[in-house]
Each structure stands twice: as structure tokens, then as C-alpha cells.
A and B are shown apart, each in its own frame.
Chain A
């Protein structure tokens, strides 16, 4: 069974430029998450989707970040414009359900460098 797929794996951009990350979750997983992992830290949740609905976006900086999950499958996370502090690894995860006993499966991440 294929795992969570993310692209690109690496992205280098200059500040003020836009950038987008794509995620394809494990087939059948209704819940999709986007996390940001700063160097030397654990991942922190940005947004959680249940099917097409964003049920928790309280940690998403909405002035520059946006996300969508059309048709309740693939998802895109966008930053516009990027700032130096956005340099991090952006992780996508999926799970069958959103409960505390549901295991989240992570993709390899996209490492973003903002110059």
C-alpha cells in the first residue's frame, strides 16, 4: 500500500515569492493534516481536514497561508508571500479517523528554504 505522497521534496525560493506544496494521502483516509516542523523541534499542526472540511485551522497564519482539499482527497498548502521565518519542513499526514486512537501516517515532507 502506498504511503502519504508529498511533492516537491525540496524547494528554495526568495522571500516574497509564492510557494505551494501538494499532498496525496493514503487511500481511504478521511482525515488529512498539515504540520510545520522547525529545525530541532517537533511538528506543529497547521490545519486538519475531515474530508473536505477544515475542522481545525486555528494555528494556520491566515494572512499568508491557505490550504484546500478539493474532493476530500489531495490537498494543497500555499504560502504567499513567503517570509524568511517560513523556512521549515512541511509535513502532510493522514489517518482513517480523527480520534486520539487513530494513527497518523506521515509523508516524507517538503523542505522549504526561503532566501
Chain B
């Protein structure tokens, strides 16, 4: 079946540090890939997505590139801020099947 494996947290970084959260997937075909973010006390929000190989999704300074060769969709940001502290979920959606989430990575940015 389809599955998503995420870098385990928690991750703690200093403000302005470079961020990478790893995500790899297993799917029977070529899924769409998503990063969702969950701020404290709020629901999940779509951060970015990519629907085909080599696509790059970007939003709020975050980027992720759909890599078919390595079945990966790593999330990156060049300079994190305290306001980026949240839980980040990688997810895939293939065909008519369900949206499958990873277990989430908790990110804390310290001033």
C-alpha cells in the first residue's frame, strides 16, 4: 500500500537557521505530494504541493521538489522564524485512494 515516512522529531533550530525535513514515500504509481502545517491549536493548513515529477512547490519561503528517482519530497527553508514553529506533515494522494499522511515532525524555533 501507499505510505509516507517522515523525519522523526522533534526538531529544534535557532532563528535564521536552514531547515530540512525529510520525507520519502512508497506508492503504486505517481502520486500528488503535499506538505501540511499545523500551528498550535489550529487545524491543518496546506503549505505546498506538487502533482508531478520534478515539480517544485513553494509557499512562505518553504520549498519542496518532487523527486521520482529518490521517491522523496523534502521540505526546506533557508531562514526559519519563530513563527514557523508548528507540526509539519508530509502526505501523498494517488488516484482515487485516500490521502495518506506521515506521522508529523514537530519544529521548534528558538530566538
Contact = CB atoms under 8 A, between A and B. Distances in A.
Interface of A: 4, 33, 40-45, 48, 56, 59, 91, 93, 98-101, 103-109
Q: Ordered nearest first, which 7 A-B pairs have the shortest CB separation?
A: A42-B101, A100-B93, A106-B44, A106-B43, A108-B43, A45-B98, A100-B32
Nearest to A59: B98
Nearest to B49: A103
Contacts of A41: 103-104
Nearest to A9: B41
A101 B51 contact: yes
B49 A42 contact: no
Interface in B34-88: 34, 36, 41-46, 49, 51
A59 B99 CA distance: 13
Contacts of B4: 42
B104 A42 contact: yes
B93 to A, nearest CB: 4
Contacts of A42: 4, 89, 91, 101-104
Q: How large is the interface on B (under 10, 10 to 19, 20 to 34, 35 or more residues)?
A: 20 to 34
Interface of B: 4, 31-32, 34, 36, 41-46, 49, 51, 89, 91, 93-99, 101-104
A108 B4 CA distance: 23
Given A100-B51, A100-B93, A43 B32 contact: no
Nearest to A6: B43
A67 to B, nearest CB: 15
12 contacts: A43-B89, A56-B98, A59-B98, A100-B94, A100-B96, A100-B97, A101-B32, A101-B93, A103-B46, A104-B46, A106-B45, A108-B41
Contacts of B49: 103
B42 A108 contact: yes
A109 B104 contact: no
Given A42-B104, A100-B97, 9 more contacts: A40-B103, A42-B101, A101-B93, A104-B46, A106-B43, A106-B44, A106-B45, A108-B42, A109-B43
